[in-house]
């Protein structure tokens, strides 16, 4: 099956928790929802004025969060397609976003080297996590919401303690920017991919590299 409708590069896709829908984010400035069974486009969210880099379902499946090169994070009502809230960052590009497991917070990674925590209900920025020396390309909460993993153009991966806002571990080894770093479902490992054409798995407890997959072209 092929899902067609975007007018430009599709930068991000993600399944809903129940596996019935897919959310996609595109350089055409839109976010779209698709029905997996039929391939039908169910909803198009318009409002971003720049490329949309990522979009994620909320844990309860009622809301979508998206981030863009227009420097905003936006919440969307899935049912009616309306924009619920807009978060404005100081950065001109926000590369990635993720909901906390309880749906109360959003974490974002930006071109200005910062990771920010936002309160979903008030739209207030609660905390900044500072430690990367270049743009933050990906962010994700752990399954228990106590940790955040981030990857950066500075070639590092950071593991953060959400409560303290401090780096608990840093993973080094990639020789180029790290495009993505994500937790395993049990949050015991991190998988990362980089422009150095490798995929690496890291053991969170030891902070050591577990294995490396080479000769992989990462776009």
Residue located via tokens 């430009």: 8
pLDDT tens, residue by residue, 43-102: 999 999 999 999 999 999 999 999 999 999 999 999 999 999 999 887 789 999 999 999
User: Rounded to whole angstroms, how far apart are CA atoms 191 and 148?
Assistant: 13
Low-confidence ranges of the chain (pLDDT < 50): none
Any bridge partners for residue 83, and if so which? 76
Buried b (16+ CB within 10 A) or exposed e, 122-156: eeebeeebebbeebbbbbbbbeebebbbbbbbbbb
- The whole-number pLDDT of residue 9 equals 96
Q: CATH topology for 10-176?
A: Methylamine Dehydrogenase; Chain H (2.130.10)
CA angle in degrees (0–180, nearest 5) for 46-50-53? 90
From 168, 190, 189, 169, select the one nearest 181 (Cα to Cα). Answer: 190
The token pair that represents 190 in the structure block? 């991190």
């Amino acid at each position: 099956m092929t899902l067609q409708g975007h007018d430009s590069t599709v930068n991000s896709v993600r399944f809903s928790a129940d596996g019935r829908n897919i959310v996609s984010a595109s350089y055409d400035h839109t976010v779209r929802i698709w029905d997996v069974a039929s391939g039908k486009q169910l909803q198009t969210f318009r409002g971003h004025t720049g490329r949309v880099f990522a979009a994620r379902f909320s844990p309860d499946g009622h809301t979508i969060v998206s981030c863009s090169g227009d420097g905003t994070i936006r919440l969307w009502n899935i049912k009616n397609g309306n924009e619920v809230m807009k978060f404005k960052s100081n950065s001109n590009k926000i590369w990635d976003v993720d909901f906390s497991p309880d749906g109360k917070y959003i974490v974002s990674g930006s071109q200005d080297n910062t990771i920010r925590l936002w309160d979903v209900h008030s739209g207030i920025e609660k905390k900044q996590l500072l430690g990367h020396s270049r743009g933050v390309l990906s962010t994700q909460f752990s399954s228990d919401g106590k940790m955040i993993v981030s990857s950066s153009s500075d070639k590092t991966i950071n593991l953060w303690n959400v409560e303290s806002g401090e780096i608990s571990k840093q993973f080094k080894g990639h020789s180029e920017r790290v495009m993505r770093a994500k937790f395993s479902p049990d949050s015991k490992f991190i998988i990362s991919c980089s422009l150095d054409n490798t995929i690496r798995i890291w053991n969170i407890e030891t902070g050591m590299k577990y294995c490396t997959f080479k000769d992989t072209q990462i776009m």
